[in-house]
């Protein structure tokens, strides 16, 4: 969020030195594109990757922020994906979904 705002602000200021009307147009276009990316594209792509509806991603991020601030926003989506995966595994009812496929090899005890 801060990086995008700084970038838009810096470009707008640089264009403002040349032409104030063009600077206004650049700022509006950049803000609109940023909003579309952040509010439409990113949740849809993230939702397809994790398997969550974009609405639930927004809810998870808002809840994460309310509960734990900035750290909560960073871990909210992975936690929501884990919860969804757990509920999907419980709902499917297959015992194999609960068993790890990882095996740990160990050396036999010495004689």
99 and 60, same structural domain?
yes
Number of domains present in the structure of the chain: 2
97, part of any domain: yes
Domain of 97, in residue numbers = 52-105
88, part of any domain: yes
The SS3 assignment for 110 reads: coil
Return d(Cα 4, Cα 61) in angstroms, integer. 19
56 and 45, same structural domain?
no
Residues whose CB falls within 8 Å of the CB of residue 21, separated by 6 or more in sequence, listed in order: none
96 and 77, same structural domain?
yes
Each of the 111 residues of the chain gets a pLDDT tens digit; together they read 577 788 888 989 999 999 999 999 999 999 898 888 877 777 777 777 777 888 888 888 899 999 998 889 889 988 988 888 888 878 877 655 555 555 666 666 676
Q: Is the pTM of this model over 0.85?
A: no
């Amino acid at each position: 969020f801060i990086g995008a705002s700084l970038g838009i602000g810096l470009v707008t200021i640089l264009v403002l030195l040349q032409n104030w009307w063009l600077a206004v147009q650049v700022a509006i276009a950049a803000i609109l594109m940023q909003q579309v990316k952040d509010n439409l594209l990113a949740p849809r792509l993230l939702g397809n990757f994790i398997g969550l509806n974009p609405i639930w991603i927004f809810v998870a991020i808002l809840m994460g922020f309310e509960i734990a601030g900035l750290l909560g926003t960073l871990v909210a989506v992975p936690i929501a994906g884990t919860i969804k995966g757990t509920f999907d595994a419980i709902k499917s009812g297959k015992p194999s979904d609960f068993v790890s496929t990882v095996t740990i090899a160990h050396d036999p005890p010495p004689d």
